[in-house]
Amino acid sequence: MMENSGKRSLALHIGVLALLSLLPFILPDYHHLTITRIMILAMFALGYNVLFGYVGLLSLGHAMFFACGLYAAGLPVYHLGWEVPLAFLFAVVISALAAALIGAIALRTQGVAFMIVTLMFSQVAYLATLYFSNVTGGDEGLVLPEHARRFEILGMLVDLTSPQVRYYTALGLLSASALIVYRWVNSGLGREWVAVRENESRTGMLGYNTFLIKLKAMVISGTLSGSAGAAYGLLFAYIGSTFASIQYSIDALLFTLLGGAGTVLGPILGSFIMFYLIDFFSGHTTAYLLATGVVLILLIMYFPLGVLGTLRKRWLHWLP
Amino acid sequence: MDLGPFLLLASLEGLVQAAVLSLSALGLCLVFGVLRVVNVAHGEFHMVGAVIAWSVSHALFGHPLFGFLVALLAAPLFVGVIAFTADRVILRKINHNPEATIVATIGMLYVIQQSVLIGFGPDARAMEPPFYFHVNFPWFGYSGYKLSVILMAVALLLMVWHVISRTRLGLLMRATQLDREMAQVFGIPVGWVYGLVFAAGAMLAALGAVLIAPIRQVHYLMGLDPLLMSFIVVIIGGLGSIRGTLLAALVIGMSDGIISMLFSPTLAKMISTLLVALVLIFKPEGLFGQHKP
């Protein structure tokens, strides 16, 4: 039974990714760019979900990790002329370090204080990007130079101005992140996370170092979010302060909550639904963020498990 | 200007800031103390208060002082009704669960903010001060209205203190705060107390907004700053501690005002926020907070 459900869920995940790889052939051009964007944001939400869905820590500051990756990748490319792959790796490392540092401080607090503290740190990061605007470009941001649009890796020339290349790069990154998360939550560490979520003091009593467990989750979550930020900056050749604003932290929360916190595919599904919903609303009114608010309230009141969470509870018990 | 008078000017600005901040932070603190939840929409209640103040003073003819006084009543009333309804309809449904409440109030933040954007428009608007006079120091003249803001805030704080410690309503509140179940057993309508306290918190934010509206401009995004500043104050003061909150409001408001004048507002915000981090590293329960039982 266990074996069977494991195979079934793995098949589902691979199926979803395969479906995504076929979409460009079916959908009109307009959607290519949109879905590329959504996939990167979904990667961000995947990272967020590790902390929120599996460990039960509600962070309101993940935009700072996203922005950390964004700037750590974009600034060296812009100012020092680094190659794209090197900048990406650098951003991943820096995000991991930032997440470890912020985690070590923020995890000293419990419950609501954790949410406020992450919000505050994120705000400092946002203000810092504004304050040092001669380096970061502040609100207006920076457009990455031409040399950063193409690079050679393993003898292949990659041209980031091509929509197809961007689409499949994003898909590749998303798949890699999804599989990493999938592996991790099904490992011993994943079980420790859920144990902390369900009852932290009991887990501590059983001899686990809950602080360390939470810190590991924070680092993984922050690194994934940072990688998403780096990918966003490099793929679309633009970095700016907006990405560090509270809005992005809330988006990650919203995508995760909508799709189903604590499911691997939930954040991906949530990102797709919400992005198209907002896209639809912004065509009709300037106050499209109203949709964000209404969805958040309705979700938490009537639908706290999200789409996949509810499906899992009702019918698909094997969903990871 | 010499450094001495300049510092005096900066401290006056800081005091004005601290006065308004203490009102809004006290609101957040009361809500946390009694309901044990954090209201992320707090800043939006502040913003709505300012918008009402602007609309009232704009709609009424005659002396601006008249409009101001009407706003001082109308804004908290309006905001109080919204907050009370929101508590009874939304927060009660999720049992005031701390995490769910954060998510729900984030939703409320967007709903309120975007509704104001639809109704009020994206422009920043200036509100006329209720009176003009200058207090002349030997080195510079200072707006009499700003000085009166400090006095009005102190008066309002005294009123809040009176309600909490000397009236029946305050007694019910304190009983609910101490032990919710026991209060319920004694026949205190805990649900109503929750709604009222939530409304009272929002009304304090709105009052602060009416006071500050003639100094700053009224804008639909103005809620974020007071929210974050109140968070800083409430954390440093210790979640739920009124004494700590007021003291922290004074310190943070003053330092923010002074650093803003001397260097830059952005830097001031960064410093106060990092201060929060330091407090949390060395004293996770805040300066005046107690460990939860």
pLDDT (tens digit per residue) in B220-254:
888 888 898 888 888 888 777 888 889 989 988 88
Query: Which of B103, B224, B281 comes nearest A257 by C-beta?
Result: B103
Asked if B106 and A296 come within 8 Å (Cβ–Cβ), the reply is yes
Name the CA dihedral angle for A27, A29, A35, A37, rounded to a multiple of 10 degrees.
180
List the Cα angle A306/A310/A316 in 5-degree steps: 130
Residue B291 has pLDDT above 70, yes or no: no
What is the structure's pLDDT at A206? Answer: 82
For the full predicted model, state whether its pTM sits above 0.90: no
Mutate to test the interface with B, among A120, A134, A253 (most CBs of B within 10 A): A120
User: How many angstroms separate the CA of residue B153 from the nearest CA in chain A?
Assistant: 26
Residue A124: list chain B partners with CB under 8 A.
269-270, 273-274
Residue A86 distance to chain B (closest CA, Å):
31
pLDDT of residue B41: 92
pLDDT (0 to 100) of residue A223:
94
Q: What is the Cα A11 distance to its own chain's centre? A: 23
The pLDDT mean for chain A works out to 83
Work out the pLDDT band at A319, boundaries 50, 70, 90.
low
Look at residues A111, A63, A14, A62 and name the one whose alpha carbon lies nearest to residue A217. Answer: A62
Whole-angstrom distance, CA of residue A13 vs CA of residue A39: 15
How many Å lie between the alpha carbon of B31 and the closest alpha carbon of chain A?
13
The label of the residue with tokens 């009424």 reads B60
Fold type of domain A2-314: ABC transporter involved in vitamin B12 uptake, BtuC (1.10.3470)
pLDDT at B85: 92
What residue of B is the nearest CA neighbor of A293?
A: B107
pLDDT at A99: 93
> Which among A251, A218, A214, A205 has a CA at the least distance from the CA of A232?
A251
Cβ contact B110–A60 (<8 Å): no
- Helix, strand, coil percent content, chain A, rounded in steps of 5: 75, 5, 20
Closest-CA distance, B234 to chain A, in angstroms, reads 10
* Record: contact A294-B107, CB cut-off 8 A: yes
Alpha carbons A251 and A243: distance in angstroms, whole number: 11
Name the residue among A269, A229, A224 with its Cα closest to residue A248. Answer: A229
Is the CB of A27 inside 8 Å of chain B's CB atoms?
Answer: no
- Please tell me if residue A247 touches chain B, with a CB cutoff of 8 Å: no
Mutation target vs A (from B44, B92, B99, B290; most A CBs, 10 A cutoff): B99
Interface of B with A (CB under 8 A): 32, 37-38, 90, 93-94, 98-100, 102-104, 106-115, 117-118, 122, 224, 228, 231-232, 235, 239, 264, 266-267, 269-270, 273-274, 276-277, 280-281, 284
CA distance A304 to A257: 7
CB contact under 8 A, B280 and A113: yes
Percent of chain B with pLDDT over 70: 96
Q: Does the beta-carbon distance from A289 to B224 stay under 8 Å?
A: no
Residues in chain B within 8 Å Cβ distance of A105? 277, 280-281
Measure the CA angle with vertex B209, ends A112 and B228; round to 5°: 30
Q: Of A105, A115, A286, which has the smallest distance from its Cβ to B102's Cβ?
A: A115
A123/B269 CB distance under 8 A:
yes
Q: Which residues of chain A are within 8 Å of residue B241 when distances are taken between CB atoms?
A: none
- Beta-carbon contacts below 8 Å between A and B: 122
Minimal C-alpha gap between A120 and chain B (Å) = 6
Task: Tell me phi and psi for residue B198, to 5 degrees.
Answer: -60, -45
- Residue of chain B with shortest Cα separation from A245: B224
Distance CA A272, CA A277 (A): 8
Strands (E), B94-187: 134-136, 141-143
Per-residue pLDDT, averaged over B22-38, amounts to 89
Residue A130 has its nearest CB partner, among B115, B228, B266, at B266
Q: How far apart are CA B109 and CA B86, in angstroms?
A: 11
Mean pLDDT for A249-271 is 86
Q: Is residue A260 very low, low, confident or very high in pLDDT (cuts 50, 70, 90)?
A: confident
Residue with tokens 């005002």: B257
Mean pLDDT (whole number) for A283-304: 80
Whether residue A253 lies within 8 A of chain B, CB to CB, comes out as yes
Q: Do B94 and A112 touch (CB under 8 A)?
A: no
pLDDT at A2: 44
ipTM over 0.85: no
Is some CB atom of chain B closer than 8 A to the CB atom of A72? no
Name the residue among B37, B90, B232 with its Cβ closest to that of A120: B232
Lowest mean pLDDT among A59-68, A92-101, B53-62: B53-62
Distances (CA, A) of A74 to A33, A96, A109, A134, A233: 20, 17, 32, 14, 6
pLDDT tens digits for A193-211?
888 888 888 888 887 888 8
Residue pLDDT, tens place only, B164-193 = 888 888 888 888 888 888 888 888 888 888
Query: What is the per-residue pLDDT for A320?
Result: 56
Residue in the structure block whose two tokens are 């009694």: B34
Show residues of chain B in contact with A111, CB under 8 Å: 98
Q: Which of A129, A253, A296, A305 to mutate to test the interface with B (most CBs of B within 10 A)?
A: A296
- The DSSP secondary structure of A124-153, one letter per residue, reads HHHHHHHHTHHHH-TTT-EEPPGGGGEEEE
The answer to whether residue A278 neighbours chain B at the CB level (below 8 Å) is: no
What pLDDT sits at residue A5? 63
| Residue among A105, A287, A289 whose CB faces B277 most closely | A105
Q: Are A304 and B281 within 8 A, CB to CB?
A: no
- Give residues 146 to 205 of A whose Cβ lies within 8 Å of B: none
Where does the pLDDT of residue B282 fall: very low under 50, low under 70, confident under 90, or very high at 90 and above?
confident
d(CA A75, CA A80): 8
From B280's Cα to the closest Cα of chain A, the distance in A is 7
Distance from CA of A54 to the nearest CA of B (A): 15
Domain ranges in chain A?
A: 2-314
